[in-house]
Structure 1
Amino acid sequence: MSDLLAALLLGILEGLTEFLPVSSTGHLLIAQHFIGEQRPDLFNIVIQAGAILATTLVFRHRLWALATGLGERANRDYAMKLAVAFGVTAAVGLPVRLLGWELPETVTPVAWALILGGVWMVVAERLAARRPESAHITWTVAVLVGLAQVVAGVFPGTSRSAAAIFIALLAGTGQRSAATEFVFLVGIPTMFAASAYALLEHVLDGNAAPVAWDELALAFAAATATGFVAVRWLLGYIKQHSYTPFAVYRIVLGVALLLWLPVGM
């Protein structure tokens, strides 16, 4: 497989999985394992920005309404909670990054994270269904969503969107669409900041491996296009369906990987 084709396929995979609760990073690591080529963290993080760009386009009207309506208390309150969630992620996540955290090079921990995350989703959704349905985002939800993003970033396979959405549901935002929208909007500054930081690290690292910018650009474009489709589809899907099918998929995939892969892979 040519490098450009591999980059294209990874970009498509990233776009399809970034906001589905199945872990885009985990899927990228699995795909790279079978392709036989481990891409640098810079590649994995920057193409995520393509999917985030797609999300920005999907929510462009909502974002514009928030930006131009800050004079209204409801909009100002919501924007401040988005800022708090992002601030918590940055305040906790940056020290983790500075301590030298890197993505795993083996698939086994990703497989376990997929399984445990799938079980967590089933349990969390059942518990959340017992709570009163509410579209309100509390300050507690904002803080916990920020923390959930960090946990998901440290454990690939967990899924940033799944961790944050179900924390929001359990913490009091009982409406799936409201919790999902808040998590998606928080993901925009979070992932753009992560991509910018990864690029800055690369520029400042004199010993960093050279980047194939044509491959990165192709993967970024593919992630943007497929991410737009995936986000639009998911927002419609969750209005009438639960997240359980995604949980089942995660568990089946994780078990299959553990049974198929040799120990230590």
Structure 2
Amino acid sequence: MIELLKALLLGIIEGITEFLPISSTGHLLLAERLLGLGHRSDLFNIGIQAGAILAVVLIYRQRLWDLAMGFFGRGAPADHDPAGMALSPAQARAYALKLAVAFGVTAVLGLLVKKLGFKLPEEVIPIAWALILGGIWMIAAEYFAAKRAQALGERSEISWTVAVLVGIAQVVAGVFPGTSRSAATIFVALLAGTTNRAAATEFAFLIGIPTMFAATGYELIDVLHSGQAANEDWAAFAVAFVASAITAFIAVKWLLSYIQSHRFTAFAIYRFVLGLALLAMVPAGS
């Protein structure tokens, strides 16, 4: 029963933090160290991440279907962009191609980075500093996006430049645990010209679907080949998967509503507090 409760708590933490710009890695590390929940297996990590991805797929299921239909020219999508404008088939095709470009950039650079072994270890100090510096990055990005919106008007369009930079941002977030994939992609989009928070967030979440599915599948193949699956606690795995999916669904729906009338400042402040809390966990001189 204790293991099931631990799995439930970790699934809830993953679901809440995976798509909010506050770093799921930092929170899971805090749960491991501070709450004594123990180290997670690779397969368990895959399970809770897959649950979070499933939630986003369910939220954007109609959007994904309409983009797919528009891409293949099978009728005009009934969907709308975050600014409320109907998307024509040509616009849907361009949007889908930009998602493909962003994913392609991430895939190519991600495989290169993995082959070269460029990734910081998931340890307290680097994650804490990534949280703090990421908070500064968030405030700066939103400030400059607001200034640009005042000068040039609010922009919901995702440019090709934004698509490429978002793809790069996903790789950077993977190299620096604690950065937060959603934070990196949302605020790169804001800095690169998409000044509408809802539009930047939607693109970040949509590109996260194929990216996270690909990363999860890649890791799953490694786990199955290594034989780790034979020793997995499948009851705990199932509990964590369901908990992650449900809480991610709620968290993302809430965030999409929240950003309609609020800035991301509260998340930046939270990152500062969490980063300092993680630094406080490290004994002096260690």
TM over 0.5: yes
| Preserved contact between residue 119 and residue 174 of structure 2 (Cα < 8 Å) | no
Query: Does residue 82 of the first structure (1) align with residue 113 of the second (2)?
Result: no
Q: Deviations over 1:143-192 (max 9, x none)?
A: 11011011111111111000100000110111000000001000011111
Give 1:14's aligned residue: 14
Give 2:124's aligned residue: 107
Write the letter of the residue equivalent to 1:66. Answer: L
Give 1:155's aligned residue: 176
| Preserved contact between residue 15 and residue 224 of structure 1 (Cα < 8 Å) | yes
| Preserved contact between residue 128 and residue 174 of structure 1 (Cα < 8 Å) | yes
Give 1:3's aligned residue: 3
Residues in 1 aligned to 2:215 and 2:17: alpha-carbon distance in whole angstroms: 18
Residues in 1 aligned to 2:101 and 2:253: alpha-carbon distance in whole angstroms: 26
Give 2:199's aligned residue: 178
Provide closer, same or farther for how the CA distance between residues 75 and 264 of structure 1 changes in structure 2, counting only shifts above 3 A: farther
Give 2:160's aligned residue: 139
Give 1:247's aligned residue: 268
Q: Deviations over 1:191-229 (max 9, x none)?
A: 111111111011122578833232222111110000000
**Displacement of 1:263:** 4.3
Give 2:38's aligned residue: 37
| Preserved contact between residue 21 and residue 160 of structure 1 (Cα < 8 Å) | yes
| Preserved contact between residue 46 and residue 198 of structure 1 (Cα < 8 Å) | no
Residues in 1 aligned to 2:120 and 2:227: alpha-carbon distance in whole angstroms: 21
Provide closer, same or farther for how the CA distance between residues 3 and 104 of structure 1 changes in structure 2, counting only shifts above 3 A: farther
Q: Which has the larger radius of gyration?
A: 2
Residues in 1 aligned to 2:129 and 2:44: alpha-carbon distance in whole angstroms: 24
Comparing 53-62 with 35-44, which one deviates more in the overlay?
35-44
**Displacement of 1:258:** 1.2
Comparing 153-162 with 101-110, which one deviates more in the overlay?
101-110
Q: 2:280 aligns with which of 256, 259, 262?
A: 259
Matches within 5 A, 1:190-201: 190-201=211-222
| Preserved contact between residue 42 and residue 202 of structure 1 (Cα < 8 Å) | yes
Q: Sequence identity, in percent? A: 63
- Name the TM-score, length of structure 2 as normaliser: 0.87
Q: Deviations over 1:115-146 (max 9, x none)?
A: 11111111111111111310000111001101
Residues in 2 aligned to 1:205 and 1:92: alpha-carbon distance in whole angstroms: 25
**Displacement of 1:46:** 3.4
Give 2:26's aligned residue: 26
Count of matched residue positions in the alignment of Structure 1 and Structure 2: 265
Residues in 1 aligned to 2:139 and 2:131: alpha-carbon distance in whole angstroms: 12
**Displacement of 1:60:** 1.0
Query: Does residue 214 of the first structure (1) align with residue 231 of the second (2)?
Result: no
Give 2:63's aligned residue: 62
| Preserved contact between residue 152 and residue 158 of structure 1 (Cα < 8 Å) | yes
Residues in 2 aligned to 1:85 and 1:42: alpha-carbon distance in whole angstroms: 27
Provide closer, same or farther for how the CA distance between residues 42 and 155 of structure 1 changes in structure 2, counting only shifts above 3 A: farther
**1:130 match: secondary structure:** helix
Comparing 183-192 with 104-113, which one deviates more in the overlay?
104-113
Comparing 31-40 with 2-11, which one deviates more in the overlay?
31-40
| Preserved contact between residue 47 and residue 240 of structure 2 (Cα < 8 Å) | no
What residue ranges of structure 1 are gaps of 5+ in the alignment? none
Provide closer, same or farther for how the CA distance between residues 61 and 108 of structure 1 changes in structure 2, counting only shifts above 3 A: same
Provide closer, same or farther for how the CA distance between residues 111 and 209 of structure 1 changes in structure 2, counting only shifts above 3 A: farther
